[in-house]
Amino acid sequence: MENILDYTLEELQIWMKENGESSFRAKQIFDWIYKNEWNFENMLNLSKKTIKNISENFYIGIPEIIREIKSDIDGTQKLLLALKDNNLIEAVVMKYKYGNSICISTQIGCRMGCKFCASTVGGMIRNLTAGEMLGEILKAQNKIGDRISNVVLMGTGEPLDNYDNVMKFLKIVNSKYGLNIGQRHITLSTCGIVPNIIKLADEKLQITLAISLHAPNDLIRKKTMPIANKYSINQIIEACKYYINKTNRRITFEYALINRLNDKNEHAKELSNLLKGLLCHVNLIPVNEVTESGFVRSTSESINNFRKILEHNGIETTVRREMGSDINAACGQLRRSYMKGSLK
């Protein structure tokens, strides 16, 4: 059986025609699914024949919530979700004045090996399908009883390492017959797979691209990010220039500040020179302290000094607001704790 969430409306219409059904039934089914009806038997405007036909060929791949934690500070909710094959993924729902945002996973585990990230501990198991990513959002919306209007592909996994499934997900989530979330309300974060940044640029989407840079030079980057051994910072910057030229979209550079490693004034000046003239924005992130890494977050003084130097050099900069800091809302932490048996 197939997950019906992996189908676009057009694909389901074709399937219906090929299997003796009227193509308009596809839209009826999608209407029910996106109104949180996940049992074919309850889709009242479908004939018994149609229900039998789709039930024998499809399931609706909504994950089950295994554990949930809600922040007492800002209401951020972290969901540990079980897929049909019992693999575990995470999603984080954040509430803002402008609406609800969700940070979703794109893979089960991750093979990029970034040393400050809990998602990479244990490596990668497999890619998520487009429908499994979509299922994270549908389940979260059902849980909070409200619409999610912003999506961030920054949870467990490297989105550009799962390129085809992610592109299909973006198509479905943006569709007016799907969740109808505008491309400009979607952010995709990558550690810097250069060929796929270029490939993404050629798609000419209007999503926001975020680059996990975390260092002003290759020497420092190689200490924390194995991908730096394959693609240099200069290659990444050239790919970013190509992306900006193709899409006219501003790029966000994510920079996790690690005490004494990449947070000195000299590093801020070097980063300023690197990004000078680019249509970009820098998001400074106090690093999440993962036990296995041994990294410690920068002091408040170092963070402020870093920001001031960037801004003085004309680089638009923000310090990321920490959401769900009391529940370890960073990607990979809840799944890792659960699998280690430290959560009951």
331 in active site: yes
Name the 3-class secondary structure at 74. Answer: coil
β-bridge partners, 253: 211, 282
Strand, helix or coil for residue 224: helix
Out of 21, 90, 136, 158, the active site residue is 90
Strand partners, 79: 68, 91
231 close to 208: Cβ distance less than 8 angstroms:
no
Give Cα separations from 77 to 74, 119, 242 (angstroms): 9, 18, 37
Q: CA-to-CA distance for 247 and 227, rounded, in angstroms?
A: 25
d(CA 264, CA 219): 15
Instruction: For residues 108 and 127, give the distance between their C-alpha atoms in angstroms, rounded to a whole number.
Output: 6
Q: Pick the catalytic residue: 103, 110, 191, 331? A: 331
Please report, as a single letter, which amino acid is at residue 105.
Answer: S
* Closest C-alpha among 43, 38, 42, 39 to residue 25: 43
Reported in sequence order, the residue ranges of the chain that DSSP labels E, i.e. its strands, are 2-3, 58-59, 64-70, 77-82, 88-96, 99-104, 107-109, 124-127, 148-153, 186-190, 208-212, 251-257, 280-286, 317-319
| Letter string b/e over residues 277-309, b meaning 16 or more CB atoms within 10 A of that residue's CB | eebbbbbbbbbbbbeebebebbeeebbebbbeb
Is 10 a known active-site residue?
no
Nearest one of 342, 316, 340, 332 to 113, comparing CA atoms: 332
DSSP letter (8 states) at residue 53 = H
Instruction: List, in sequence order, every beta strand (DSSP E) within 220-336.
Output: 251-257, 280-286, 317-319
Closest by CA to 114, choosing from 295, 282, 252, is 295
Residues marked active site are found at 90, 331
